[in-house]
Chain A
Amino acid sequence: MKTAVLVTRPVVRYLLAALVIGLTTGVLRWWQADRGTALVPLLYLLPVGLCTAFLGLGPGIASAVLAFLAFNYFFIDPFHTLTVGRAEDTAVLLVFLVVAVVISQLVGRAQAGLAASQAREREASLLYELSTALAGLTDAQGIGQTLCEQIRQTFRARRVELEVRGVSDAASLEAAAAEAEGPADGPAHEVMALQTARGRLGEIRLWLVVPPLAPSEARLLYTFASQGALALERAWLAQAEQRARVLEESDRLKSALLSSVSHELRTPLATIKAAATSLRSGEIAWDSTARRDLLGAIDDEADHLNRLVGNLLDMSRIESGALRPRRQWNLLAEIVAGVVQRMQPQAADHVLEIDVPEELPLVPVDYVQFEQVFTNLISNGLKYAPPRSTISIRASLETPEAVRVQVSNQGPPVPDQDLARIFDKFYRVTAAERVTGTGLGLSICKGIVEAHGGRIWAENLPHGFAFLFTLPLMWDGAPPPRVPVEGESAG
């Protein structure tokens, strides 16, 4: 630590004090030879004050006593003895001693006060640094790591370890900071508990360069530990709050879901029930066309129900972060063609136009999930765009590392303020009665595209409306592979 005391070893300090008084005595003896001794005691006060200021209180007092002795020995008659002949000299000597000691003490105390306030200032600035470093952090691991690193730098430790054993894994933590790699050698020099109002969280272990810590340093370490414990507690509380919010949100989602779903599920169920019971009842002899119609309705509505259940499952998976794409290198054209082929019956009233260039690179996506993205985007168009209008699917290379897909229709524009919200769950621009669906299709698309690192948005076009999304082509840092195609040689 840096203080006004220039030399740290006590012996050296006392020797220096003696040296200063010796030198002063020499100078004074040469100087007073023809001037008398009246000023001498005054001039001795200067080195005494300096000694106290620069060497500390102890050497200061020692210098005062030494100066008193030297003054007595060299300048008070009879010279070269410690006896005092005249009464006034005794008074001068005594006054000198008292003044010298008092000055020493005053200067020393001021010095000590200065040192203490400097130490406090340093502690405050170290604590400020620590709390600034911790303030920005919200994750417990980061806090643990920062705390270890700060402690290591502040206390010049070779290694600092932090260990928190909570009731659960979420409340447990291990962090370490070290000058050099490798495990700690020997037991820790210093162990400090991480304490909060609710009890002991864990502990911090220090391996020092020069053990042990001074009492002031130990106090500082204790303050660091309390700060760290507070920051950790804050992070865990924030996490708990976040969890509570998610639960609340999912509760809200569930009730919205239930009301939307019970309606949506009952409609196909009602059809199925009505058709099946009609066919079973022995009262009417159904002709073959009517039979086929009823059976067709059962079949169609069963498929509809299946899609609804699928959407709900997907949504809950996206919500819980469990939607994990099974990525493979795929040709967008193949996915789009498959979807268009399968949707042909539903899309009979519309024109589907595909423009997915063959030279597009392979894309790293989950085939089934992207089938769903295209299915949902196209069915959205089918729902809102007028019959006989065109729905077009276009893909192009946006940058060498991203592909851009546009699914547009000639449906009515969506108010600008709703463009971002149409990807929200259950959000509908049009009144729910007019269009069927769970209101989940677009949010599922968003979930899937984002799970692939892409971005999806909607735009109004001069004569219609478009969904757009981009997809990164890089997969784990690897660009799309180029498949070597061999020359033809039949057989």
Chain B
Amino acid sequence: MTSPPAKKESRVGRGATPRPQVLVIDDEPQIVRALRTILSQNGYQVVSASRGEEGLALAAASPPDVIILDLGLPDMDGITVCERLREWTRTPVIVLSVRDADADKVAALDKGADDYLTKPFSADELLARLRVALRHAARWDGSRQESAVTAGPITIDLARHEVRRDGEEVRLTATEFRLLAYLAANANRVLTHRGILSQVWGPQEGDHVEYLRVYIRQLRKKLEPDPERPAFVVTEPGVGYRFLADD
């Protein structure tokens, strides 16, 4: 398992700012119970639904800040819920899946889900993903579009097309830069193979995972302190890649 990004603040928005609201759509009472405890202890408000339709209705009635969606719902396909949500809202969606449902996970991500967690997951992981999703949502609201991303020794200046490692400029090819820029602009979020390929190479190249394999290797060689143990451009097995940036 990849280690979660360093935890800077364990609780979100205590005090002046309202507590972010999390909508949990899951039919397993034990999971909901555990999530409710963990999340409310960490400064979130929790609303839960045990069915897809109910979840969609709740999401419309009182728009949450983030949605945790289980893919195995009794009444409808989690992927469909994701699709229906994306018809009208950009609220971040984190899907929960079991280990053997890679294809579903990827389908949900391709349909607009923001991140995923494989059951069983740790609370740290969950909280880290929630923070990333909320921060990314805030960025999309246009309030703060960052032009520089830092990850350990790596700094990427998206506006000036400049990449540095330990202060020294790293020379990248045009495609390498486009790939890194896309990863960095979505720092800490999981990006599917298809998503990356169609953004960086074009929608018609969505199936050419081999490009990605080779270019990711190139990027790691140029950026990672130890390319054999990548710490920043990390593989999400069977799903895609994630760029781990500093918080």
Please give the residue numbers on chain A whose beta carbons come within 8 Å of chain B beta carbons, in ascending order: 299, 302-303, 306, 310, 313, 317, 326, 328-331, 333-334, 337-338, 340-342, 354, 358, 362, 366-368, 371, 480-481, 483, 485-491
- Asked if B173 contacts A342 (CB within 8 A), the reply is no
- Asked if B122 contacts A483 (CB within 8 A), the reply is no
- Segment at the interface with A among B45-53, B87-95, B182-190, B208-216: B208-216
* B215: A residues at CB distance < 8 A: 483
Contact among A299, A329, A341, A358 with B209 in the assembled complex (CB-CB below 8 Å)? A329
B228 to chain A, nearest CB (A): 5
Question: In the complex, what residue of chain B is closest to A370 when comparing beta carbons?
Answer: B237
Asked whether B58 is an interface residue with its Cβ less than 8 Å from the other chain, the reply is no
* A330: B residues at CB distance < 8 A: 209, 213
Contact among B120, B169, B235 with A338 in the assembled complex (CB-CB below 8 Å)? B235
CA of A289 to CA of B216, assembled, Å: 41
CA of A341 to CA of B234, assembled, Å: 11
CA of A306 to CA of B99, assembled, Å: 10
A161 to chain B, nearest CB (A): 41
- Asked if A485 contacts B214 (CB within 8 A), the reply is yes
CB-CB contacts below 8 Å: B201-243 with A: 208-211, 213-218, 228-230, 235, 237-238
- Asked if B161 contacts A485 (CB within 8 A), the reply is no
Known interface pairs A306-B120, A331-B213. Does A491 touch B161 (Cβ–Cβ under 8 Å)?
yes
- Asked if A367 contacts B237 (CB within 8 A), the reply is yes
A55 to chain B, nearest CB (A): 78
* B172: A residues at CB distance < 8 A: 488, 490
- Asked if B173 contacts A334 (CB within 8 A), the reply is no
A-B pairs with beta carbons under 8 A, tally: 82
CA of A334 to CA of B236, assembled, Å: 11
The list of the 3 closest CB pairs from A to B, nearest first, reads A329-B210, A368-B238, A483-B214
- Asked if A337 contacts B229 (CB within 8 A), the reply is yes
* A331: B residues at CB distance < 8 A: 213-214, 217
Question: In the complex, what residue of chain A is closest to B122 when comparing beta carbons?
Answer: A299
A233 to chain B, nearest CB (A): 40
Contact among A303, A326, A337, A362 with B213 in the assembled complex (CB-CB below 8 Å)? A362
* A303: B residues at CB distance < 8 A: 120
CA of A326 to CA of B107, assembled, Å: 13
A72 to chain B, nearest CB (A): 100
- Asked if A483 contacts B210 (CB within 8 A), the reply is yes
Known interface pairs A310-B99, A341-B229, A490-B161. Does A362 touch B210 (Cβ–Cβ under 8 Å)?
yes
- Asked if B210 contacts A334 (CB within 8 A), the reply is no
A475 to chain B, nearest CB (A): 11
A376 to chain B, nearest CB (A): 15
- Asked if A491 contacts B177 (CB within 8 A), the reply is yes
Ordered by A's residue number, 14 sampled pairs between the chains whose C-beta atoms are within 8 Å are: A310-B100, A326-B238, A330-B213, A331-B213, A337-B230, A341-B229, A342-B1, A368-B102, A483-B213, A483-B214, A488-B173, A490-B163, A490-B172, A490-B177
* B163: A residues at CB distance < 8 A: 490
- Asked if B173 contacts A487 (CB within 8 A), the reply is yes
CA of A481 to CA of B210, assembled, Å: 7
B196 to chain A, nearest CB (A): 13
A481 to chain B, nearest CB (A): 5
- Asked if B120 contacts A371 (CB within 8 A), the reply is no
Question: In the complex, what residue of chain B is closest to A329 when comparing beta carbons?
Answer: B210
- Asked if B103 contacts A485 (CB within 8 A), the reply is no
Asked whether B14 is an interface residue with its Cβ less than 8 Å from the other chain, the reply is no
- Asked if B235 contacts A483 (CB within 8 A), the reply is no
Known: A366-B238, A490-B161. 6 other contacts (CB 8 A): A326-B103, A331-B217, A334-B217, A354-B228, A367-B237, A486-B175
* A306: B residues at CB distance < 8 A: 99, 120
Chain B count of residues within 8 A CB distance of the other chain:
34
Question: In the complex, what residue of chain A is closest to B100 when comparing beta carbons?
Answer: A313
* B216: A residues at CB distance < 8 A: 334
B206 to chain A, nearest CB (A): 12
B67 to chain A, nearest CB (A): 25
CA of A146 to CA of B100, assembled, Å: 43
Known interface pairs A337-B228, A341-B229, A368-B102. Does A489 touch B173 (Cβ–Cβ under 8 Å)?
yes
CA of A481 to CA of B177, assembled, Å: 22
Question: In the complex, what residue of chain A is closest to B106 when comparing beta carbons?
Answer: A326
- Asked if A486 contacts B174 (CB within 8 A), the reply is yes
Known interface pairs A326-B103, A331-B217. Does A483 touch B211 (Cβ–Cβ under 8 Å)?
yes
Asked whether B139 is an interface residue with its Cβ less than 8 Å from the other chain, the reply is no
Most buried by B among A299, A485, A487: A485
Question: In the complex, what residue of chain B is closest to A483 when comparing beta carbons?
Answer: B214
CA of A306 to CA of B229, assembled, Å: 25
CA of A368 to CA of B105, assembled, Å: 13
* A362: B residues at CB distance < 8 A: 210, 213-214
A213 to chain B, nearest CB (A): 56
CA of A310 to CA of B208, assembled, Å: 29
* B120: A residues at CB distance < 8 A: 302-303, 306
Question: In the complex, what residue of chain A is closest to B207 when comparing beta carbons?
Answer: A328
CA of A332 to CA of B97, assembled, Å: 26
B138 to chain A, nearest CB (A): 29
User: Contact string, B162-197, partner A, CB cutoff 8 A, digits 1/0?
Assistant: 110000010111110100000000000000010000
* A487: B residues at CB distance < 8 A: 173
B202 to chain A, nearest CB (A): 15
* A371: B residues at CB distance < 8 A: 237
* A338: B residues at CB distance < 8 A: 235, 237
* B102: A residues at CB distance < 8 A: 326, 368
B151 to chain A, nearest CB (A): 17
CB-CB contacts below 8 Å: B80-125 with A: 99-100, 102-103, 120, 122
CA of A174 to CA of B161, assembled, Å: 65
CA of A127 to CA of B83, assembled, Å: 63
Question: In the complex, what residue of chain B is closest to A338 when comparing beta carbons?
Answer: B235
B17 to chain A, nearest CB (A): 31
- Asked if A367 contacts B173 (CB within 8 A), the reply is no
Known interface pairs A490-B172, A490-B177. Does A334 touch B1 (Cβ–Cβ under 8 Å)?
no
* B169: A residues at CB distance < 8 A: 490
* A313: B residues at CB distance < 8 A: 100
B35 to chain A, nearest CB (A): 16
CA of A483 to CA of B238, assembled, Å: 20
* B1: A residues at CB distance < 8 A: 342
A142 to chain B, nearest CB (A): 34
- Asked if B174 contacts A489 (CB within 8 A), the reply is yes
CA of A310 to CA of B120, assembled, Å: 11
B149 to chain A, nearest CB (A): 17
Known interface pairs A313-B100, A368-B237, A486-B175. Does A328 touch B229 (Cβ–Cβ under 8 Å)?
no
